Amino acid sequence: MTIGNWAFIDVIRNPEKHKDVFYDPPDGNIEGLKVCVIRDRKPKAKMHFLIIPTFLLQVYKNLNENHISLLEEMRDRAQQLVEELKNTEEGKDMNFKIGFQAIPAMMQIHLHVISDDFQSPHMKNKRHWNAFNTDFFISPDYFISELKKHGFIEVDDAHYNNVIKQPLACPICDREISPLSELMIHLEEFHNKK
C-alpha cells in the first residue's frame, strides 16, 4: 500500500494541514463531529465529494452492528449534500450517485457523492468508470442492511475484482464501447449527457 492510500487518515488526524479539501466543516474543525465532507482531490466528475468518519475506521471488515448509526449518518449527510449541491447554479441540473466502492483504493472508509456527468481529467480508465457505473458501486443502504442482519460486512473480493475488469458499457443503453474516450463521446452524442 502506497502513502497515497493513507491520505484520508492524515486528513482526519491533521485536519489543520488539509483545510483546502474540507467542504463541511469549511474550516476543517472536526472536533465533536462523527463525519465530515471533503472534496475528492482527484475528482472523477464535475462534482465529487467524500463523506468520511472523523475517527480511524480503515476497512469494511472493521464494521459491526455498533456502526449502523454511523453509516446512517454518512448516508443522511450524503443525501443532504446532494440537496445542497442541487441548490447551486452548477449543480441544479445534475444527477448524483451515492455509494461505497466495493474494494476502495484508499484506507479509511468513505462514501462517495458524485455527479453522473463523469466529466473530469481524472476519469482516465476502465477501472475509474466501472468503479462508479457497475455493481462495484454499493448503496449505503445495502451495507446498513447487512450490518442489521449479520452484524458485519462481507465483500466478495473475487466477484468485485471481476466486475471492475468487465468491458466498458454505456449506463443508459448497455452498449459495450471502448476505449473510455469513445464511451464519453457516445454519451454526449446519443444521450445528450452534459
The one-digit pLDDT tens for each residue of the chain (194 residues) are 333 566 888 999 999 999 999 999 999 999 999 999 999 999 999 999 999 999 999 999 999 999 999 999 999 999 999 999 999 999 999 999 999 999 998 889 999 999 999 999 999 999 999 999 999 999 999 999 999 999 999 999 999 999 999 999 998 899 999 999 999 999 888 876 44
Within the chain, what is the greatest distance between any pair of CA atoms? 48
Which residue in 18, 48, 67, 110 is the catalytic one? 110
8 in Cβ contact with 108 (< 8 Å):
yes
Cell of 104: 476502495
Pairing of strands 22-24, 48-53: unpaired
- Is 110 a known active-site residue? yes
Q: How far apart, in whole angstroms, are the C-alpha atoms of residue 85 and residue 63?
A: 29
- Which residue has 452498449 as its cell numbers? 175
